[in-house]
Structure 1
Amino acid sequence: MKLLQRGWLEYSSNTALMKDTTDRTTTKPFVEVKKVHKAFGPQPVLRGLDMAVNPGETIVLMGASGCGKTTLLRCLNGLETPESGSILVNRTTLCNTGDTESQYFLQGDALHEFRASVGMVFQQFNLFPHLNVMDNIMLGPVKVLKTSKEEVQETTQKWLDRIGILNKASHFPDQLSGGEKQRVAIVRSLMMNPKLMLFDEPTSALDPQMTREVLDLIKEIAEQGMTLLIVTHHGRFAETIADRILLMDNGVIVEEGPPPQLLNTPQHPATQAFIQGLL
């Protein structure tokens, strides 16, 4: 069954199912990162990273543990603030350090509004343990988007039916399997009508069957044309879903290209070593 064959849900008076409406006629990147540096204490993590993502593109980020992939995603969602550089997402400037007299960082209500437009799915699900499935999904649309509870409840039930766990709407996270938790986390993000989705190794804590369930859902989202950035070590999944793979090493992107090129004929030594480790 196609979970998203009519598109993800956008709120309207009749909870219509709509496809993503991002303007792809523009030549400007949807995500643009320039010379971004980020450190934690004395330890540099991002070292002048540059990246551009086009509207509707599915990008897979790969690289050894500790190379900066998660930190990059957190910077794109405003959860971390770079020391220097610029980040532009969907025409919103998160930061632009330029010269010292014109430094800019998105803050306050503007930052909260921006975060609501960027969905992020974490390795460990990050569901609220004291809320059941229904309430976990409904919280954001009701509290942040100010959508009526009745409308959100109806939409949530449709989503739970689509991902096959409507019968677990009243269950709490500790009563769900890992795959069920991650699918709930993905739906919770989609309910906020994001323009960009970030996935940080969404299957790292799952067994093979649960991994397939989650990856199938992510594929459905990609087919609808939403802009996605996915951190994963699943080479076969990356090959089937990515428009481009970016290989990170030591805080920068050292190589990028379409999956067949990067996975089969890597050029950079770090890429070659990483791909060899996947075999």
Structure 2
Amino acid sequence: MPGPTPNLKPYQHAKAGAKPARFDLDKVSPQAKPYSSGDKAADKAAVETLARELDELQNLFYADRRFKLLVVLQGTDTSGKDGTLRGVFGQMSALGVHTVAWKAPTEPERARDYLWRIHQQVPANGEVTVFNRSHYEDVLVPGVNKWITPAQVKERYAHINDFERMLTETGTVVVKFMLHISKDEQRKRLQERLDDPTKRWKFSAGDLEVRKQWKQYQRAYADAISATGTPWAPWTVVPADSKTHRNLMIASVMKQVFESLKLRYPPDDASLKNLKVV
């Protein structure tokens, strides 16, 4: 089984401010495995154990109802967002977990501010909501494609910081993961999709066009992490070339998040004390 919890500091950023410290994404190796025991079978077993523990913690979270939990999964194509949902969150009860897969905004959504559609999907008390992509797409994509100016990019990140601070100040715990893969690993995964008839539906010719912008998107992600990794909504960069390690690291961090909340069951209703079921 994995050993002691590793130091998260090299993988987390929570220093955004008036002059945010630059997060150097190039210093985080996508092949790194800080949470691995070195034994893949043991790591897979650990993920399964953690998934069951997270299910129990989520049940307690739902009963407690003092908090809301928003989990953001960001990453390039094939970085493993869907796999994370299955491997880490898949055993949680559908009663209190909601997943939102964000696509390009519709015409009615574009007619409003870009956070309008996002705010409608944030969790309620006791709920866990997982964003597969998120509001960050509304800065990353238009920024890389120069549909908005650098000044507008900076402005939107300021909006997002304020939005996430408002969420946290009203009881939402915001946890953000950037799934970090290498360009070569993406090539392999895209080719696997093309070669496998059961996965080909996931492939789009547009994926290859976006791949040509790899360097631009890597810079954009570094900018996003630098600008919006705040004390109230920090980023965790997850080395994700290994799918098993990706799930192990995210599940481990999620367990820490739940446990840090000191969750509790609501107090017993005194009127039920002497009731008997017959």
Normalized against structure 2, the TM-score is what? 0.35
Q: Which has the higher contact order (CA 8 A, sep 6+)?
A: 2
Higher fraction of helix:
2
